[in-house]
Amino acid sequence: MLRARIAVLVSGGGTNLQALIDCQARGELPHGVLSLVVADKAGIGAIERAQCHDIACAVIPRREPGFEERVQKALTAYEIDMVVLAGFLGILSGDFIETFGKPIINIHPSLIPSFCGKGFYGLKVHQAALDYGVKVTGATVHFVNAIPDGGKIIAQKAVDILPGDTPETLQHRVMEQAEWKLLPAAAEQVARELVEKGKTTWNDRI
Ligand code: GAR
């Protein structure tokens, strides 16, 4: 069966990566195969998750020169068809996106267009939602283009903010109720579209 080869870019603990791994293990990612994890720094939890599940992992420090060229090389070497940003905290350049030329999707922990764009990442997003006083937040999966958090939206899910929430409690609720479900479902949707359009070459029966 043809499948889209997926690379996952990570910067942290990797709970969204874990959600993708669990989804694949349940057979709910039938059109994709997790083929590579790219960690943008050493020592992050996501690396261990990849290793535990025998997924190839490249550590490419984001702050070092040549980061994007090295990532691009790894994507080519692993014949990657699509990229998932799962808690990746860098911003990819327009050149990178154009050179790769295949779908890149991202999970963002708010309802875009609120609390998004440059400087909004991780707990800062939830702090901003609490500071503003909104009563509902959520998560968004979108295609990545040259505008940070500005690409076409694939899926969104709302999550209530509760009295007494801290950035940490809110982050956990948004992950549990929205991110860990939305991201794997969106990855499968994009992978299926690639397979149906004949844009994948990898066949797991060869
Ligand atoms: C997640 O909440 C993800 O949505 C967010 O970082 C966290 C990473 O957690 N991403 C961004 O803020 C991107 N702008 P994880 O490493 O446990 O998946």
> Catalytic residue positions?
108
- Answer yes or no: is the C-beta of 115 below 6 A from any ligand 1 atom: no
Q: Whose CA is nearest to atom 17 of ligand 1?
A: 15
- As given in the structure block, the two tokens for residue 84 are 């998932």
**Mutation probe of ligand 1 site: the residue of 89, 111, 171 with most atoms within 8 A of C-beta:** 89
In a domain, 31, yes or no: yes
Q: What is the pLDDT of residue 141?
A: 98
In a domain, 137, yes or no: yes
Phi then psi dihedrals of residue 111, to 5 deg: -85, 95
Do strands 104-108 and 82-85 pair parallel, antiparallel, or not at all (unpaired)?
A: parallel
Domain of residue 147, residue span: 4-195
Arithmetic mean of pLDDT, 87-93: 96
* pLDDT bracket for residue 1 (50, 70, 90): confident
In a domain, 132, yes or no: yes
pLDDT at 205 over 70: no
CA 48–ligand 1 middle distance (angstroms): 17
- Answer yes or no: is the C-beta of 154 below 6 A from any ligand 1 atom: no
Q: What's the pLDDT tens digit per position in 148-204?
A: 999 999 999 999 999 999 999 999 999 999 999 999 999 999 999 999 999 997 776
If you write DSSP's letter for every residue of 6-32 in order, what string do you get?
A: EEEEESSS-HHHHHHHHHHHTT--TTE
- Answer yes or no: is the C-beta of 67 below 6 A from any ligand 1 atom: no
CATH of the domain at 113: 3.40.50.170
Q: What's the pLDDT tens digit per position in 91-149?
A: 999 999 999 999 999 999 999 999 999 999 999 999 999 999 999 999 999 999 999 99
Whole-prediction pTM: 0.97
* pLDDT bracket for residue 28 (50, 70, 90): very high
* pLDDT bracket for residue 206 (50, 70, 90): low
Q: What's the pLDDT tens digit per position in 67-78?
A: 999 999 999 999
- Answer yes or no: is the C-beta of 86 below 6 A from any ligand 1 atom: yes
Q: What is the pLDDT of residue 202?
A: 75
Q: Whose CA is nearest to atom 10 of ligand 1?
A: 87
Q: What is the pLDDT of residue 203?
A: 75
Number of domains the chain is built from: 1
In a domain, 202, yes or no: no
Quick one: which of 39, 41, 60, 61 has its CA closest to 51?
A: 39
In a domain, 204, yes or no: no
In a domain, 110, yes or no: yes
Q: What is the pLDDT of residue 180?
A: 98
Q: Whose CA is nearest to atom 16 of ligand 1?
A: 14
